[in-house]
C-alpha cells in the first residue's frame, strides 16, 4: 500500500478487488505511507479506510497489516507512548477496531528492547493487534527483542529481490526459519530495476528470469516473485503495483516451477560470480 493513492488511473476499490480476485489477502500499509516529504502522513491508511467505509464487506476478506515508529524529522520513535498513539491513529484512519499484524517499521536504537517488547505484548493482550513483527531490523535486534517477548515475533520485513540478496546472505532467512517467522519481502522487483534492467548485472538477472518467464508463460515480474517465493523460508513478495492488470497477474506465480539449477543460475547472476 506504499503507493496507494486515489490518482492511479483506477479506483482504490478496484485495486483492492483485483488483489482479492488474484488470491492476495495480505495488505501491508503503514502510518508513513502517503507522506511526500511535507504532508500526507497517514494518507494511504485514510484512503483504505474510505474503501472500507464504502464497501464494508471487504474488511473481513483482508489480513490487515500496518506499521508504526517513523516520525518525519525525528526520524524513529519506538517508545511506548509513541507506538500506542501511532496504533490508535492508524486504526482511526483505517476505521477498524483491530489489525491482524502490527510491525515496528524501523529500529529505534534509543528504545530498549525490553520496553519495546512490553509495548508489543500489551498491544496483543489488548485485542487491538493479532500478531506483531518487525521491519528492517538486524538479526541481533530481532534476537534481543524476542528475548524479552513471551509471544513470538510473527514476521520480519526486509528488502529482498534478485538484486538485493542481503537477508539471504546475512542469516536473516536462517533466523526466520529457525523461529518460524514469516518473511515479507519488500521491493521484490528491485525498485523497478528488474523490469527496466540497465546495468550488466541487472541484464544478466533479467535474462535468466526471462528464460523462466518464457518457459512457463508468465511475465518477468511474476518470474521474479516466484523466484523469491521458492526459497524454503517461503518469503512473501510484497507487490506494489497500482495497476489492476499487473496485480491480477500475480496469480500466475503458481505456474512457475524452478529447478535447482535454474534457481541457482539467477542467484549467481545476481551475485555476479559463480558459487564455489
Asked if 225 contacts 237 with a C-beta cutoff of 8 angstroms, the reply is yes
Does 33 participate in catalysis according to the annotation?
A: yes
What distance lies between CA 249 and its chain's CA centroid? 18
Grid coordinates representing 65 are: 497489516
Contacts of 165 (CB under 8 A, 6+ apart): 267, 270, 271
Asked if 101 contacts 132 with a C-beta cutoff of 8 angstroms, the reply is yes
What is the DSSP-derived secondary structure letter of residue 150?
S
Alpha-helix residue ranges (DSSP H) falling in the chain: 12-21, 43-54, 80-94, 113-126, 139-148, 166-169, 172-179, 200-216, 220-229, 244-248, 260-271
Asked if 189 contacts 251 with a C-beta cutoff of 8 angstroms, the reply is no
Contacts of 274 (CB under 8 A, 6+ apart): 268
Cβ-based neighbour number of residue 194 at 10 Å: 22
Catalytic residue among 33, 76, 148, 264: 33
The pairing of beta strand 182-185 with beta strand 236-237: parallel
Residue-wise burial string across 136-150, b where 16 or more C-beta atoms lie within 10 A, e elsewhere = bbeeebbebbbeebe
3-state secondary structure of 69: coil
Active-site annotation, residues: 33
Amino acid at each position: 500500500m506504499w503507493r496507494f493513492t486515489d490518482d492511479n488511473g483506477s479506483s482504490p476499490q478496484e485495486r483492492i478487488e483485483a488483489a482479492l480476485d488474484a488470491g492476495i489477502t495480505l495488505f501491508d500499509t503503514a502510518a508513513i505511507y502517503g507522506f511526500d516529504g511535507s504532508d500526507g502522513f497517514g494518507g494511504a491508511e485514510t484512503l483504505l479506510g474510505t474503501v472500507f467505509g464504502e464497501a464494508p464487506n471487504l474488511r473481513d476478506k483482508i489480513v490487515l497489516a500496518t506499521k508504526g515508529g517513523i516520525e518525519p524529522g525525528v526520524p524513529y520513535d519506538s517508545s511506548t507512548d509513541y507506538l500506542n498513539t501511532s496504533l490508535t491513529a492508524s486504526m482511526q484512519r483505517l476505521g477498524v477496531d483491530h489489525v491482524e499484524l502490527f510491525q515496528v517499521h524501523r529500529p529505534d536504537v534509543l528504545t530498549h528492547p525490553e520496553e519495546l517488547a512490553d509495548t508489543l505484548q500489551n498491544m496483543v493482550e489488548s485485542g487491538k493487534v493479532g500478531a506483531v513483527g518487525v521491519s528492517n531490523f538486524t538479526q541481533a535486534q530481532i534476537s534481543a527483542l524476542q528475548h524479552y517477548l513471551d509471544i513470538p515475533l510473527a514476521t520480519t520485513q526486509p528488502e529482498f529481490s534478485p538484486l538485493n540478496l542481503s537477508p539471504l546472505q546475512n542469516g536473516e532467512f536462517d533466523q526466520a526459519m529457525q523461529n518460524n517467522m514469516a518473511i515479507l519481502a519488500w521491493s521484490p522487483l528491485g525498485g523497478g530495476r528488474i523490469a527496466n534492467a540497465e546495468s550488466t548485472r541487472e541484464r544478466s538477472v533479467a535474462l535468466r528470469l526471462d528464460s523462466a518467464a518464457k518457459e512457463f508463460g508468465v511475465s518477468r515480474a511474476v518470474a521474479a516473485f516466484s523466484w523469491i517465493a521458492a526459497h524454503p523460508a517461503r518469503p512473501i513478495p510484497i507487490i506494489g503495483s497500482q495497476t489492476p492488470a499487473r496485480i491480477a497477474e500475480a496469480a500466475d506465480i503458481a505456474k512457475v516451477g524452478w529447478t535447482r539449477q535454474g534457481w541457482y543460475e539467477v542467484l549467481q547472476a545476481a551475485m555476479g560470480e559463480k558459487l564455489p
